[in-house]
Amino acid sequence: MFRSRAEDKVKEAGFDPRRLPPGQYLTEKWPVLHAGHVPAIDIDRWELKVWGEVENPVTLSFAELTALPVTEVVRDIHCVTRWSRFDVPYRGVHWRDLAALVRPTADARFAVAHADQGYSANVPIEAIEDDGALICWEADGAPLTPDHGFPVRLMIPSKYFWKSTKWLTGIELLAHDRPGFWERYGYNNNADYGAEERYAGF
């Protein structure tokens, strides 16, 4: 019944209902969900570190990050709390342009995104190599707001949205997988929204 009602609303909005993953509903809003408080970040002191299984670890200021080639993407995003938003525009740096600087080693198979307040989220390296994945500082045509991750967040549309780390401070490449914050609290490690991989054991 939920699926039928959710699909009806997608049709009413003029979209193909097949775009809506199982268990989701469509919204035009961008709900705000996170653990902890919204940090006050001084953009002039903010840095992004990339390290681990790389030949050339780097630390970039916001000005240095935004001086890299800029990519613009439009993708659907899907939250584990069941909302989906279609055609979200965002811009930032694609991983390939950072990879050219840091030169990942042949052992780099996983990425852990680190953020303010000790938050982290893990993904296979293929997730950040995806064409839709960006290290992002703008969405909906404007700079990110503090509650959506100012100044920089990950956008990983191939996974449930908790993998799209807000308030990003670092990307660590690893040869082995290491669960992040929500994964240690029982969320599914893979987070495939097409398979409804919301929680561990499902």
Q: Give the tens place of pLDDT for each residue, 119-160.
A: 999 999 999 999 999 999 999 999 999 999 999 999 999 999
Residue 200 has pLDDT above 90, yes or no: no
Does 117 or 170 have the greater pLDDT score?
170
pLDDT at 4 over 80: no
Which pLDDT tens digit goes with each residue over 15-58?
999 999 999 999 988 878 776 788 899 999 999 999 999 999 99
Element (H, E) at 183: helix 181-184
pLDDT at res. 174: 98
CB 71 within 8 A of CB 93: yes
**Structure tokens belonging to residue 112:** 């852990």
For residue 187, name the pLDDT band (cuts at 50, 70, 90). Answer: very high
Q: What does the pLDDT look like over 55-95, one tens digit per residue?
A: 999 999 999 999 999 999 999 999 999 999 999 999 999 99
Architecture of the CATH domain 2-195: Alpha-Beta Complex (3.90)
**In the chain, where are the structural domains located?**
2-195
pLDDT tens string 154-176: 999 999 999 999 999 999 999 99
Residue 109 has pLDDT above 80, yes or no: yes
